[in-house]
Amino acid sequence: MMRHVVYIIVFSLFLFSSGCSQQNAKNDYQHNLVFRERHSIVEPSKVEFSQTDLLMDKMSVDEKIGQLIVVGMEGKSYNNDIDSLIRRKHVGGIILLGKNISTADGIVEILNDSKKANAGNKVPLLLSVDEEGGRVSRLPKGMKKLPSAASIGQKNKEFAYETGTYLADVLHSLGYNMNFAPVLDVNSNPKNPVIGDRSFSSNPSEVASLGMSVMKGMTDNGIISVVKHFPGHGDTHVDSHKSLPVIHKSLKELRETELVPFQRAIDEYADMIMVAHILFPELDKEYPSSLSKKIITDLLRKEMHYDGIVITDDLTMGAIVNEYSVPEAALQAFLAGSDLLLVAGDYQNQIDTFDALRTAVESGVISMRRLDESVKRILELKERYQLEDKVNEEIDVKKLNQKYDELMS
């Protein structure tokens, strides 16, 4: 009799757990439908492994490590250093800064040469730029740039979306596929030397609404958007390009202001979040946010439930190099939870960063599981946007300027 009772109890528990599993599976399925629709993802065929998994199986350790690094270059024309980084180190992407900008045709040529160099590699490049509008613009002379985020903030979210669409048109024409924008920092400190009018507003909800509109304007039109600078750069009075800012705010205070736009971005499936170089002693007394496991893994990943790509701000900025070597910072940032490491220069720093990561993998400091976790995120993003190393045709600057006039009229 007792045996029958036990069977009944076990069977009942099985039915209950099965029901819970079915409900969880249903919730996961609905969540995935929304995500797939948001990113226009085609339903894959029913195979045991995804295309990303199959590709990763064919990649060497060096090829995987290369995918973690986004590099800058010197000069205004394609050169041997960037060529070597692409062909031999299999870097995941490049960034063009103001020092690299000459003419529209010059940008197209650099990006085309980069694509040609990468043709023999398994994975297409992330071709990125900081194009916010206002005082942070990398457009060449003769191309009309957007007004500042603060100016856009005086209008509405429909206009903000159209500015994102315009950015996508311009960047595609030049050959880019990724943009470090929009800024989601809240302009909460009028003495801030680095954010100011790069922010949409001093109101966190307005920053969230307008920022998401710009982000969607780009992503809906095939440009990867990188929202920045987590956990928030708006209340600093020090420029992190020169030295390390310190913000003495509690997590509760951050949740009320700085984190509001980023949580909204996470809820709306942001593809990539850039982490700033700022010390938050109330969160981590030792490491700045870009190197902090407490901030990247514990706060951003676990508490805020972000599972997209995390990228560092440039690891050659004063806030980092005043205290760390670039390879040392890159390794710490990766161990803290970052996926992509931005190393704008110089060539030796880029090579040393690659070597430091490879040594860490060989010694077991970075496990293969941890390496594959980030590489998979990166490859899935590239697959989702259907990136390819297709050479661009000549750019029609006149046509783009006409689009700008229509937008602003």
Residues with a catalytic annotation lie at 241, 313
Q: What angle do CA 177, 334, 215 make, to 5 degrees?
A: 30
Contact 220, 175 (CB under 8 A): no
**Nearest of 107, 102, 109, 99 to residue 75 by alpha carbon:** 99
Contact 70, 342 (CB under 8 A): yes
Contact 91, 70 (CB under 8 A): yes
Contact 334, 296 (CB under 8 A): no
Q: What angle do CA 120, 127, 214 make, to 5 degrees?
A: 150
Q: What angle do CA 66, 345, 60 make, to 5 degrees?
A: 10
**Distance of alpha carbon 366 from alpha carbon 388, whole angstroms:** 29
**Distance of alpha carbon 361 from alpha carbon 374, whole angstroms:** 13
Helices (H), 310-384: 318-321, 326-336, 347-363, 368-384
Contact 270, 225 (CB under 8 A): yes
DSSP structural state of residue 299: I
Q: What angle do CA 326, 327, 329 make, to 5 degrees?
A: 65
Tell me the two tokens of residue 285: 């007394």
Please give the distance of CA 96 from its chain centroid, rounded to a whole number: 15
Which residues, including other chains, have CB under 8 Å from residue 136's CB and lie 6 or more apart? 130, 198
Q: Is 13 exposed, middle or buried (0-12, 13-18, 19+ CB in 10 A)?
A: exposed
